[in-house]
Structure 1
Amino acid sequence: MSIMTDAATPRKRAKSVTFATPPPSRENTAFRSRTALVLGALTLSGAYVHFYQSAGNGLFDTLGELVKGETFPGSNGEFKRVFTGIKPLDTYLTTFTPFFGILTHKGDDSSYLFWLWMIGQFGVQWILFVMESLREGNKGSIASYIGLVGFMFQNFGLATVIPAFLLISTLTSTISRASSPTGLMNLIKVHGIDLNILPFSFFLAYFAPTVCMMLPYPAINSHSSWQGWIATWQFFPLYTVTFQWLLASFFKAVDQGKGFKIKSDEGKMVAYFWHARPLYIGAIFICAVFHVNVLAICLLPEWLVEIFPIAGTYRNVSFASVFLPPVPLPPFESVSVVRSLHTFLIWDMAVSGAAALVWAALQTRNVSSKTFSAKWVLRMIGFTIITGPSGAFVMAMWERDSAVVELLIEQAMKDK
């Protein structure tokens, strides 16, 4: 009888372990202040190499002359000046299309290889910033307006806007002020549907237009479609957030009240981590593919270059010619428009990549003083060598999430 009674008695649901969230420590506040100072310095450095150097080496003057030309740079065809029929918008687009027209089809081998490398690195950097905008702790903050931030860096450059954005986020974001795994637990989660949709938003908004504007001209792209795709690409940040919002809103409405619901905060955090894991893996893969292939072309000895047909098409390139810019000190040497564009983009990725890793160090330090150390710095240097700066950024954020989950589980086991 007692056996039957025990079997019929419903099992009680395990209660969620509640942790007290400690206030930010003095060490954490000091680290955040130092991070803000470094990001401020990077913002000023980015403005210097973008605006002062580009004015000095003749880039702005040359682009201004190209915009006034009758033929589109990199071709003998007519300069397309009507895209939407809205004159102010068309004028805006014709200001930027020559930049990418030269880059995609008129550059030398070194600049073209860097652009290919940048497609992967910049794309992954962008998708991680979009992911940050979707975190619970960033709702309503500047980080949540990532479409506006994207529109700004399309106009003013990564080297200026990204460090400034991360600086403001460091000073204002709730996540940047949290100083323990318990404080971060409810802040860094992203809705599972948002995570599932994000790769599709990235593909539709960023990757597809990028591939289309890179298609061979005139073999595949017509003169008009080539310029049209370049103009379309300018607004990929706005497309990303639009696709993300529309698709996520639809599937959240469909999913409302259905499916398995996790009630405990710890369970939700673990569920988020496992949803985010494939996204991190995919981002690392993209970084590695673009980084390793371009690096191999730069570093392969001449006799090996002859064996690989694709690598063999790039001659007289080296690591220095692809990745190292001239010293940004006056007097600036007037160089070709291709070289000045190349220099512009090198500093774009160098400054924005450094800013992302500095900011990631703060996010790691916020979990625990044990999670940020000299070993962490060495690991990030190693990941930068293997996968590029954006790959290291991905690993830093992935490790941050993993550390939060591990410490929460460890603390829950102790409290039980």
Structure 2
Amino acid sequence: MDLPDSKKEKVTDNNGKSTMSSSPRSPTHLTGHQPSKWYHLQLRTIALFALPFLSFIGIFGTLFIGGRNGTFEHITNLVRQKTPSAVFPNTKYLLLKDYTGIRALDRQLTVLVTFFAPVVDSKNAALYLNSIYGLGQFGAAWTLLVMESLRSGNKGRAVSFIGTVGLIFQNITYAVTVPLYLFIHLLTSPIAKPSSGTHANSVLLISSLDLKILPLSITLAYIVPSILMGLDAPSQVSGHTHQKLIAFWQPFPIWTVIIQWTLRSFFQFIGSEVSSRDSKQAPAPQGASYLSSVKHVYYFALTLCVLTHLPVLLIALVPASVIADILPKLSPYASLNFFDIYVPYFPFPLTHRVSDLANGTHTFLQWDLATGSTALLLWAIVLYRNATTEKTIVDPDTNLSSHQIREMRTGEGNRVGALSIELMAKIGVWTLIAGPIGAATVLIWERDEIVRQKIKQGV
């Protein structure tokens, strides 16, 4: 029996034919891709142009400025100095130049250790706070990148060799390497393309075992070495031990890969309950299992961002007199403002020279973090919009939030200028709370939630 016309909804299928929905509670069908005008660039296209450009900005802000302002000259002079023996920056003990016995490797480690010397010195107030902020942003970004390498759709592809990528950005800079990595990801990874839920089920997912041990791997490979390299010398550790701990931190991408592989192999070998459940799961419920496991990784990354960003932001924004009264121990940092800590310094003229290595390192890391984080946030927005603009069915009884449903209903065919105000506000709020990588983490997490809904509905 037909319903009255007032209760029917007109729906257009992919062939352009109009049909009538028989119930106001029926799913809302979203139409397929609608061709846009030639001058309306899609967000993906914008990103593919922007990411290489960001890499060039990274080259300028880190390598070019570092070469012009004397930062690299400070490091080179210390590394080459033989008579008298070079002294570790701002200390009285000698600069260590022998770590492995391999000359080329020892020289590179000496360069990196010298560069990071002022980073872990709390007397360099602005740089020290920027380093605390960077610890969380960089760690969360690394977590997202490792997750991406573990996704089933990326196995065997260039983007899956994350240990190699990590070593490159540790030696060439995060700001230069990560935008190019994300550019390659958007071009080559099936995960970077809009797809149906059934297709996403075969490319997006990660082994539950990998997800459950990933936070531990990041903690052991990155967070613990970061804490150890921050131990004060000579009050807590000797000068030589301090330098060795800084050197030990440098290849943390390799430590991450080794620890992740070792833990996975161990749990698989002993046939633990976790590994057993993971291996016996049928493909159908795997999406739900994935989401229940991956949320702990997203919580981990987001917590890392919040705990290292909010305290630093408050110090930058709260009046100095208030900080001095409430927390006298933070008085050396009270006079710093937002720009001192976060905003990359643009030298004018370009012949400007830094007064010491600490200032040069601070400028370098400001550009490094800002550029690399911008690239990751842009990439996350593209992946989020892929999930919300692809053809799907919105179940009225879905547990997605109302704003996610609105994104799915209104996002189809949207160009970059049509990014919703709600999405932009969400990015702004999370950037304020957890920094740009925190915002990127939330977007990737919500992307997974939306794709899970597609998998659940079989669309």
What's the CA shift for 1:354? 0.7
Change in CA separation of 1:176 and 1:330 when aligned onto 2, cut-off 3 Å? farther
| Stretch deviating more after TM superposition (101-110 or 28-37) | 28-37
The code of the aligned residue for 1:156 comes to I
Alpha-carbon distance in 1 for matches of 2:47, 2:292: 29
The code of the aligned residue for 2:77 comes to E
> What is the root-mean-square deviation of aligned Cα atoms in Å?
2.3
Residue among 224, 235, 243 paired with 1:208: 224
Q: Aligned residues: percent identity? A: 34
Bigger helix fraction: 1
The code of the aligned residue for 2:254 comes to L
| Stretch deviating more after TM superposition (329-338 or 156-165) | 329-338
- Structure 1 segments of 4+ aligned residues over 4 angstroms from their partners: 22-30
| Stretch deviating more after TM superposition (89-98 or 325-334) | 325-334
Whether the aligned pair in 2 keeps the contact of 1:103 and 1:115 (CA below 8 Å) is yes
What's the CA shift for 1:327? 2.3
Residue among 116, 126, 129 paired with 2:132: 116
Q: How does 1:34-113 map to 2 (within 5 A)?
A: 34-69=46-81, 70-105=86-121, 108-113=124-129
What's the CA shift for 1:106? 6.7
Whether the aligned pair in 1 keeps the contact of 2:381 and 2:440 (CA below 8 Å) is no
Normalising by structure 2, report the TM-score: 0.80
Unaligned runs of 5+ in 2: 1-30, 390-406, 412-418
Q: How many residues align?
A: 390
Deviations 1:189-226 (A, max 9, x none): 11011011111111111111111110111111111100
What's the CA shift for 1:326? 2.1
Q: How does 1:140-151 map to 2 (within 5 A)?
A: 140-151=156-167
Whether the aligned pair in 1 keeps the contact of 2:79 and 2:111 (CA below 8 Å) is yes
Secondary structure (helix, strand or coil) at the match of 1:314 reads helix
Secondary structure (helix, strand or coil) at the match of 1:368 reads helix
Residue among 349, 356, 360 paired with 2:369: 349
* Residue of structure 1 equivalent to 2:396: none
Alpha-carbon distance in 2 for matches of 1:159, 1:115: 15
Alpha-carbon distance in 2 for matches of 1:218, 1:329: 38
* Residue of structure 2 equivalent to 1:394: 441
Deviations 1:72-111 (A, max 9, x none): 1121111111111222221221111111112212752111
Alpha-carbon distance in 2 for matches of 1:233, 1:123: 12
Alpha-carbon distance in 2 for matches of 1:388, 1:368: 23
Deviations 1:385-406 (A, max 9, x none): 1111111111011010011112
* Residue of structure 2 equivalent to 1:323: 342
Deviations 1:252-300 (A, max 9, x none): 34439933733243x1011101101122112111111111111111112
Secondary structure (helix, strand or coil) at the match of 2:203 reads coil
Change in CA separation of 1:102 and 1:199 when aligned onto 2, cut-off 3 Å? same
| Stretch deviating more after TM superposition (101-110 or 193-202) | 101-110
Alpha-carbon distance in 1 for matches of 2:223, 2:133: 14
What's the CA shift for 1:361? 1.4
Change in CA separation of 1:24 and 1:329 when aligned onto 2, cut-off 3 Å? farther
| Stretch deviating more after TM superposition (105-114 or 156-165) | 105-114
What's the CA shift for 1:330? 4.4
Q: How does 1:166-315 map to 2 (within 5 A)?
A: 166-255=182-271, 258-259=276-277, 261-265=280-284, 267-305=285-323, 306-315=325-334
Whether the aligned pair in 2 keeps the contact of 1:105 and 1:217 (CA below 8 Å) is no
Residue 32 in structure 1 maps to residue 50 in structure 2: no
Alpha-carbon distance in 2 for matches of 1:362, 1:302: 40
Deviations 1:306-330 (A, max 9, x none): 2124433424211111112222564
Whether the aligned pair in 1 keeps the contact of 2:320 and 2:335 (CA below 8 Å) is no
* Residue of structure 2 equivalent to 1:160: 176
| Stretch deviating more after TM superposition (277-286 or 248-257) | 248-257
Alpha-carbon distance in 1 for matches of 2:287, 2:123: 47
Normalising by structure 1, report the TM-score: 0.88
What's the CA shift for 1:23? 11
Secondary structure (helix, strand or coil) at the match of 1:331 reads coil
Alpha-carbon distance in 2 for matches of 1:259, 1:104: 43
Residue 385 in structure 1 maps to residue 432 in structure 2: yes
What's the CA shift for 1:29? 10
Alpha-carbon distance in 1 for matches of 2:155, 2:365: 31
What's the CA shift for 1:42? 0.8
Secondary structure (helix, strand or coil) at the match of 1:388 reads helix
Secondary structure (helix, strand or coil) at the match of 1:83 reads coil
What's the CA shift for 1:348? 0.8
